[in-house]
Structure 1
Amino acid sequence: MRLIQCEHQSRLRVALVEDERQVRLLDAEYGTYGLAQHAIREGQTLSAAAEAALTDTRLDYAKLIAEGRLRTPLSHPDPAHCLISGTGLTHLGSADTRSAMHAQISDQAQAAKEALTDSMRMFKMGVEGGKPAVGEIGAQPEWFYKGDGGIVVDPEAALSVPAFAEDAGEEPELAGLYVIGDDGQPWRVGYAIGNEFSDHVTERHNYLWLAHSKLRACSFGPELLIGELPEHLEGTSRIVRDGKTLWEKPFLTGEANMAHSLANLEYHHFKYPGFRRPGDVHVHFFGTATLSFAENVRTQEGDRFEIELPALGRPLRNSLTFVADDGATTVNAL
Structure 2
Amino acid sequence: MLLVQFKTESGERRIGILHEDLVRVVNGYASTLELARAAIAARATLGELADAAAGQEHFRYEELAAAGRILAPLDHPDPAHCQVTGTGLTHLGSADTRDAMHKKIGGEVESLSDSMKMFRLGVEGGKPAPGTPGVQPEWFYKGDGSIVRATGQELDMPDFALDGGEEPEIAGLYLIGDDGQPYRLGFAIGNEFSDHVTERQNYLYLAHSKLRNCGVGPALLVGELPAHVEGVSRIRDKAGQVRWEKAFVSGEQNMSHSIENLEYHHFKYGLFKRPGDVHIHFFGTATLSFADGVRVEAGETFEVESPIFGPALRNRLAIRETQYVKVKTL
> Normalised by the shorter chain, which TM-score bucket?
over 0.9
State whether residues 235 and 309 of structure 1, in contact with CA within 8 Å, keep that contact through their aligned partners in structure 2.
Answer: yes
Do the aligned partners of residues 39 and 263 (structure 1) sit closer, same or farther apart at CA in structure 2, a change above 3 Å counting?
same
Q: Could you say which residue in structure 1 is the equivalent of 2:64? A: 64
Deviation at 1:29, TM superposition (A): 3.5
Deviation at 1:47, TM superposition (A): 0.6
After the TM superposition, which residues 68-107 of structure 1 pair with which residues of structure 2 at under 5 Å, given as runs? 68-93=68-93
CA distance in 2, matches of 1:117, 1:28: 53
**How high is the TM-score relative to the length of structure 2?**
0.93
CA distance in 2, matches of 1:124, 1:18: 41
Q: Could you say which residue in structure 1 is the equivalent of 2:328? A: 332
After the TM superposition, which residues 1-334 of structure 1 pair with which residues of structure 2 at under 5 Å, given as runs? 1-8=1-8, 9-19=10-20, 21-93=21-93, 112=110, 115-241=111-237, 242-324=239-321, 326-334=322-330
State whether residues 14 and 28 of structure 1, in contact with CA within 8 Å, keep that contact through their aligned partners in structure 2.
Answer: no
CA distance in 2, matches of 1:28, 1:272: 34
Q: Secondary structure at the match of 1:322?
A: strand
CA distance in 2, matches of 1:116, 1:147: 31
Q: Secondary structure at the match of 1:4?
A: strand
Q: Secondary structure at the match of 2:80?
A: helix
State whether residues 89 and 142 of structure 1, in contact with CA within 8 Å, keep that contact through their aligned partners in structure 2.
Answer: yes
State whether residues 251 and 290 of structure 1, in contact with CA within 8 Å, keep that contact through their aligned partners in structure 2.
Answer: yes
State whether residues 30 and 77 of structure 1, in contact with CA within 8 Å, keep that contact through their aligned partners in structure 2.
Answer: no
State whether residues 130 and 260 of structure 2, in contact with CA within 8 Å, keep that contact through their aligned partners in structure 1.
Answer: no
CA distance in 1, matches of 2:148, 2:230: 25
Q: Secondary structure at the match of 1:41?
A: helix
CA distance in 1, matches of 2:232, 2:6: 25
Query: Deviation digits for residues 12-40 of structure 1, max 9, x if unmatched?
Result: 21110022x21011124440000000000
State whether residues 87 and 137 of structure 2, in contact with CA within 8 Å, keep that contact through their aligned partners in structure 1.
Answer: yes
Q: Secondary structure at the match of 1:182?
A: coil
State whether residues 35 and 46 of structure 1, in contact with CA within 8 Å, keep that contact through their aligned partners in structure 2.
Answer: yes
Give unmatched runs, 5+ long, in structure 2: 100-108
**How high is the TM-score relative to the length of structure 1?**
0.92
CA distance in 1, matches of 2:323, 2:177: 42
Q: Secondary structure at the match of 1:143?
A: strand
CA distance in 1, matches of 2:2, 2:240: 29
Give unmatched runs, 5+ long, in structure 1: 102-110
CA distance in 2, matches of 1:228, 1:178: 13
Could you list the runs of 4 or more consecutive aligned residues of structure 1 that deviate by over 2 angstroms after TM superposition? none
Identity of paired residues, percent? 57
Query: Deviation digits for residues 218-267 of structure 1, max 9, x if unmatched?
Result: 01100100012110011110100022111000011000000000000000
State whether residues 24 and 58 of structure 1, in contact with CA within 8 Å, keep that contact through their aligned partners in structure 2.
Answer: yes
The one-letter code of the counterpart of 1:58 is: H
CA distance in 1, matches of 2:6, 2:55: 15
Deviation at 1:65, TM superposition (A): 0.8
State whether residues 13 and 28 of structure 1, in contact with CA within 8 Å, keep that contact through their aligned partners in structure 2.
Answer: no
The one-letter code of the counterpart of 2:293 is: N
- Give RMSD over aligned pairs: 1.5
Q: Could you say which residue in structure 1 is the equivalent of 2:102? A: none
Deviation at 1:60, TM superposition (A): 1.3
